[in-house]
């Protein structure tokens, strides 16, 4: 029977991980310390996925189990006035008229495993849903997936809607089989990535750049 947080997450054992969290709190552990342990374990799952030692079903189960743990921890975190420091908030989804979501799910799960707060709005998502959710959660990044050449223009619609909305600090990244770096630049996206680990690195870089700009620090240009 699984007993460590890592084992519980890999198995996606939501019931047992709730028990684990409840017992830890009852034993007097600080809620933030419990969350840190779980977050580190979830990061290990993400690393295992990148190395081919874990697979998509395990990654998604781990994400669900982590959410179950957070649900138990949230009241205790609020009561102790401590909180998990997220790397950033990301809204992710597949554009309208495109129902492909495997790649999007992998990226969303790996972002969660790497410490981001991820709001997955699903597939076949209207433009206004991306923007409305980003405003609601004060997103740092909107990640748009398009797997069909016939739906690529929907990503451009999202960027146009972002420009018209009150999202001055929010970036947009695009991804999917037909997406190229040149096309992403041509529609005004802030980047694209060839795979899920690269998407995580891109999000980390964009959020760090955004925070530097907000603080009035001009980021150093990246080497060619």
Q: What is the CATH number of domain 89-214?
A: 3.40.50.280
Output the pLDDT for position 81.
60
Crossing angle of the two packed helices 14-26 and 56-80, in degrees rounded to 10: 30
Domain 5-80 has CATH 3.40.50.10790: no
Model confidence pLDDT, tens digit, residues 186-212 = 999 999 998 888 999 999 999 998 888
As annotated, the residues of the chain forming the CATH 1.10.1240.10 domain(s) are 5-80
Q: Of 15, 16, 70, whose CA–CA distance to 42 is shortest?
A: 70
Q: Is the pLDDT of residue 82 over 70?
A: no
User: Would you place residue 64 in the very low, low, confident or very high pLDDT band (cuts 50, 70, 90)?
Assistant: confident
Average pLDDT across the chain, whole number = 88
Find the mean pLDDT for residues 205-223.
74
Model confidence pLDDT, tens digit, residues 155-169 = 999 999 999 998 888
| pTM, rounded to two decimals | 0.72
Find the mean pLDDT for residues 59-68.
86
User: Would you place residue 122 in the very low, low, confident or very high pLDDT band (cuts 50, 70, 90)?
Assistant: very high
SS3 98: coil
Please provide the DSSP assignment of 15-69 as one string.
HHHHHHHHHHHHTT--HHHHHHHHHHHHHHHHHHHHTTSS-HHHHHHHHHHHHHH
User: Would you place residue 89 in the very low, low, confident or very high pLDDT band (cuts 50, 70, 90)?
Assistant: very high
As annotated, the residues of the chain forming the CATH 3.40.50.280 domain(s) are 89-214
- Residue found by looking up tokens 């697979």 in the block: 55
* Contact yes or no for 173/140 (Cβ under 8 A): no
Residues in contact with 126: Cβ distance below 8 Å, sequence separation at least 6, in sequence order:
96
- Cα(29)–Cα(27) distance, integer angstroms: 6
Find the mean pLDDT for residues 170-198.
94
* Contact yes or no for 95/146 (Cβ under 8 A): yes
Radius of gyration for the alpha carbons in the chain, expressed in angstroms and rounded? 18
Output the pLDDT for position 15.
95
Model confidence pLDDT, tens digit, residues 15-60 = 999 999 999 999 999 988 898 898 889 889 888 988 899 888 888 8
């Amino acid at each position: 029977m699984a007993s460590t947080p890592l084992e519980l997450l890999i198995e996606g054992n939501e019931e047992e991980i709730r028990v684990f969290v409840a017992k830890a709190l009852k034993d007097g552990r600080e809620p933030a310390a419990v969350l840190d342990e779980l977050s580190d374990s979830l990061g290990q799952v993400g690393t295992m996925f990148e190395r081919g030692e874990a697979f998509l079903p395990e990654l998604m189960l781990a994400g669900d189990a982590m959410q179950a743990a957070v649900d138990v921890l949230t009241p205790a975190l609020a009561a102790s006035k401590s909180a998990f420091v997220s790397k950033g908030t990301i809204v992710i989804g597949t554009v309208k008229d495109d129902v492909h979501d495997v790649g999007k799910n992998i990226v969303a799960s790996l972002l969660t495993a790497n410490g981001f707060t991820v709001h997955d709005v699903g597939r076949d998502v209207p433009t206004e849903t991306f923007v409305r959710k980003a405003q609601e959660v004060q997103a740092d990044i909107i990640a748009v997936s398009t797997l069909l050449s016939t739906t690529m223009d929907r990503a451009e619609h999202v960027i146009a809607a972002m420009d018209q909305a009150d999202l001055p600090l929010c970036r947009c990244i695009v991804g999917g089989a037909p997406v190229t770096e040149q096309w992403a630049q041509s529609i005004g996206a802030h980047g694209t990535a060839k795979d899920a680990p690269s998407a995580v690195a891109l999000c980390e870089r964009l959020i760090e750049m955004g925070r530097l700009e907000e603080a009035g620090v001009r980021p150093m240009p990246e080497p060619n």
